[in-house]
């Protein structure tokens, strides 16, 4: 499992615009077998900073499978206006250090 982080620093768009774009793009992530989950968060201290976290089966599956597959074009179409406001887009390998509160409200949409 690989985690991709895409950090946005919005200069020309409003945060709600990016949230709405990802609402439109989300079904295309959900339909892709390479994607195992995602979440979009905004920074409390700096609301124009948002981070998307996507779980992929592997970096190769993301870059070769998803990006060359049928779900990428409509996904990209939804978020294209925000590409210039990406501050960071990288893949990270998980470590053995992890924990999640399964009863916490923060896990709910």
Q: Kindly state the average pLDDT of the residues 66-70.
A: 98
Domain range annotation of the chain:
2-107
* Predicted local distance difference test score (pLDDT) of residue 101: 76
Q: Model-level pTM?
A: 0.89
Q: Kindly state the average pLDDT of the residues 53-69.
A: 98
CATH architecture observed for domain 2-107: 2-Layer Sandwich (3.30)
Using alpha carbons, select from 14, 4, 26 the residue that is nearest to residue 82: 14
User: Does the pLDDT at position 108 exceed 80?
Assistant: no
User: Does the pLDDT at position 55 exceed 90?
Assistant: yes
Q: Kindly state the average pLDDT of the residues 82-108.
A: 85
**Residue % of the chain over a pLDDT of 70:** 94
Q: Between these two residues, 4 and 109, which has the higher pLDDT value?
A: 4
Which two three-digit tokens encode residue 45? Answer: 């201290």
Place of tokens 């399964």: 102
Query: What angle do the packed helices 72-79 and 15-31 form, to 10 degrees?
Result: 180
Instruction: Indicate the average pLDDT of the chain.
Output: 94
* Beta carbons of 26 and 80 less than 8 angstroms apart: no
């Amino acid at each position: 499992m690989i985690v991709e982080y895409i950090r946005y620093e919005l200069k020309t768009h409003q945060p709600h615009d990016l949230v709405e774009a990802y609402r439109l793009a989300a079904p295309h992530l959900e339909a892709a077998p390479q994607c195992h989950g995602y979440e979009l968060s905004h920074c409390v201290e700096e609301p124009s900073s948002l981070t998307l976290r996507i779980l992929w089966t592997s970096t190769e599956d993301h870059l070769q499978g998803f990006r060359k597959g049928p779900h990428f074009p409509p996904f990209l179409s939804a978020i294209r206006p925000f590409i210039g406001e990406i501050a960071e887009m990288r893949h990270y390998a998980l470590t053995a250090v992890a924990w999640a509160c399964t009863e916490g409200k923060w896990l709910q949409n």
